[in-house]
Structure 1
Amino acid sequence: MDWVAPVSTAIGAVIGVGSALLSERIRWRRDLRGRAVEARRELYASFLTSFDATFRSLEAVERGTYLPDLSRAEAAEDARAAHRLNAIRQHIRITAPDRIVDAVDALYRDIKQACDLLGAGLDRGSEEVLHVVDNINQRAEAVRLEMRRDLGFLMQP
């Protein structure tokens, strides 16, 4: 019966070490998920900030507020490119879930279309621009909603 105590001790040690390792693994995964959510939150905030600045710059082009040595088309293209919207969009494409990538891509296409229309000389009074601006506003709201859902602020539908 001298072997019962060492075996019990060994079994207890194995259980103790195993539960400590399991607990540490769970904590590591939780921390990893938390860091991933925080990284996406920062990325989404950067995209929305860049989108807002790009939209305001395109509005300035529409009002005729741009450098006189640029054509309106060049000013519209500069307004679209100046705020790194596409660079941030590319980062989202490799980081975010597909539903967010799709929403961001649709919004970017509408921004590009608005840029093309403004560059062609159309203004906010034209039906085409009004339609694109309406699409941009709707898509921007959809992007915000999907981002909030991804970050856990809204329940899944």
Structure 2
Amino acid sequence: MQWFTLLSTLLGTTIGVASTLIAERFRSRDARRQHRETARVEIYLGFLQAMNESAEALRSLASRVDRLTPEELEESNRQVFQGSRLYVMRERVILFAPNSVAAAMNEVFNSLLTMREATAQRRGRHSPEFLARIGEYADAVQILRVEMRRDIGAAPLQDDIDWAPRG
């Protein structure tokens, strides 16, 4: 009788410890997954902020290209991306995002580069060349948002609303 009590106690303890360890493993895995998702959202928000700051700086620069000396224009063009930390945020997206998001982000980045090239060529804010670059940027941003939302599991945006930043 004493052996049966001892064995049942040991078996109960073993089952209790094992179930606690298994539950903790699942909790830990969920916590790591949640941490990765939260970090990715923060990276996406950082890139979007840097992207918007860069685009706004380019629009501002394009509105005054005719009033700048060649040296001032060159320096202003160089500062556009540095002030927004766009390069840093781009690298973070490349490191942590899935390929679909990184590829869409790269299209946005390239569209910003073409906007910067237009300002370097003294294309003003309302010139056809600069407006075309803004349109390309807006289209790329729209695709990026769709990919980011898909990656974080958010519902798609409504198709009947133009969410792209134009003009």
Smaller-chain TM-score bracket: 0.7 to 0.9
* Matching residue's letter, 1:122: R
Cα distance in 1 for partners of 2:83, 2:67 equals 14
Cα distance in 2 for partners of 1:13, 1:65 equals 77
Show the counterpart of 1:13. 13
Root mean square deviation, CA, Å: 2.1
* Matching residue's letter, 1:41: V
Tell me the TM-score normalised to structure 1 length.
Answer: 0.87
**In the alignment, is residue 121 of structure 1 matched against residue 117 of structure 2?**
no
CA deviation vs aligned residue, 1:12-68 (integer Å, no higher than 9, x gap): 111111100010111111111111111111111111111111101000110117995
* Matching residue's letter, 2:54: T
Show the counterpart of 1:152. 153
Show the counterpart of 1:59. 59
Contiguous gaps of at least 5 residues in structure 1:
none
Cα distance in 1 for partners of 2:57, 2:81 equals 8
Show the counterpart of 1:38. 38
Tell me the TM-score normalised to structure 2 length.
Answer: 0.83
* Matching residue's letter, 2:111: D
Distance 1:51 1:96, change over 3 A: same
Distance 1:5 1:67, change over 3 A: farther
- Aligned-pair identity in percent equals 26
The answer on whether the counterparts of 2:53 and 2:84 sit within 8 Å (CA) in structure 1 is: yes
The answer on whether the counterparts of 2:62 and 2:119 sit within 8 Å (CA) in structure 1 is: yes
Contiguous gaps of at least 5 residues in structure 2:
157-167
